[in-house]
Amino acid sequence: MALSASDLPAMYSLLTDSLSRELSVRKPAETALAQSENRPGFCSCLMIGSRVSEDGASNENISISSPNEVETAVEDE
């Protein structure tokens, strides 16, 4: 089932909770997000969620991290 505009408040809440320092709050939110990431509309919800807060009054950005691979080369001199 695709995510829609009616899912935005829940997605915003999950994203906010996934940034919590409290493990008991963060882990369930991360699990729920992982289960939602393959649903159609997930990326759209992330993009909209990064612009509009739950009450529509804030332009708070949500940080989304992705793993980066860094390669280094060591040359023998």
CA distance 17 to 33: 10
For residue 66, tell me if it sits in a domain.
no
What pLDDT was estimated at residue 50? 59
0.75 exceeded by pTM: no
First to last CA, the chain: 58
pLDDT tens digits, residue range 47-73?
Answer: 766 565 544 544 444 444 444 444 445
Return the pLDDT at 63.
Answer: 46
- Look at residue 15 and tell me if it is in a domain: no
Residue 46 lies in a domain: yes
Write down the mean pLDDT value for the chain.
71
**CA 30/CA 16 separation, integer angstroms:** 10
Of residues 8 and 24, more confidence is placed in: 24
Check residue 62 and give its pLDDT: 45
Tell whether 14 is covered by a domain. Answer: no
- Find the domain containing 28 and state its range: 21-51
